[in-house]
Amino acid sequence: MSIYAQINNLGLKFTDGTENQSGIQEKAWFIPLSWLKTIANPKIGATAGSILEITESHVMETGKKPVQMAPLYKKSGLKSTMEGEELSKMFKMSAEFFIPQISADNLGTIGAIKNYRGIVLLKRPGVDTEFIQVGSEGLAANVTGAEVDFGTGPTGSVGIKVTFEAYGSMPCYIYKGELPSDKVPSSASKSS
């Protein structure tokens, strides 16, 4: 039986008066799968949201922590587009971050994470109770692009643009757990 057969609230709607700001907040995290001790997944129930909501927390291996990124709001974003043949479609998630600083640590971080597979966590403006998650245990996010730009003349954009991509059956995942750490989560519904 299809997981969609038990859903009882399918429908696409706009709720008048609801906040719906564009863009992503100026903080995001990349977590290699090999650094995670446990990876939470959606618990599919009777609602359409349950297909992509992760309510338990991921837990990191001892001594590991997420790789934090501090992107510019106006030059960073997330898109999810559908690809594939008829009746066999997938979503491709692309998260692009522009970090406006060229430093040894930033360049070294890009060099260090370029070959890891993992998940990316980020938040939308005005939404502090959950993360958008790009990638999963089965279809991880990968670094697919990194551009270092020293700028041209007085108006150039100096910084690093890094792009992560992942495929999945859903447009993205909604992670409602805590920002992963190597500590036991105190609650599955809190986030940082």
pLDDT tens profile 116-150: 999 999 999 988 889 999 999 999 999 999 999 99
The rounded distance, in Å, linking the Cα atoms of 179 and 173 is: 14
Confirm if 122 and 30 have CB atoms less than 8 A apart. Answer: no
Q: What is the pLDDT of residue 186?
A: 65
| pTM reported for the whole predicted model | 0.89
The rounded distance, in Å, linking the Cα atoms of 104 and 36 is: 26
Q: What is the DSSP letter of 129?
A: S
Backbone angles phi, psi at 6, to 5 degrees: -90, -5
Confirm if 98 and 71 have CB atoms less than 8 A apart. Answer: yes
The rounded distance, in Å, linking the Cα atoms of 121 and 185 is: 17
Is pLDDT of 191 > 60?
no
The rounded distance, in Å, linking the Cα atoms of 57 and 59 is: 6
- What angle (nearest 5°) sits at the alpha carbon of residue 74, between those of residues 23 and 189? 35
Look over the chain and give the mean of its residue pLDDT values, rounded to a whole number.
91
- Measured in whole angstroms, how far is the alpha carbon of residue 145 from the centre of its chain? 16
Looking at residues 95-124, what average pLDDT do you find?
96
Q: What is the pLDDT of residue 190?
A: 44
Confidence of residue 94 (pLDDT cuts 50, 70, 90): very high
- What angle (nearest 5°) sits at the alpha carbon of residue 36, between those of residues 68 and 62? 85
Contacts of 164 (CB under 8 A, 6+ apart): 30, 94, 95, 97, 120, 134, 135, 141, 142, 143, 144
Is pLDDT of 189 > 90?
no
Place of tokens 């990194």: 146
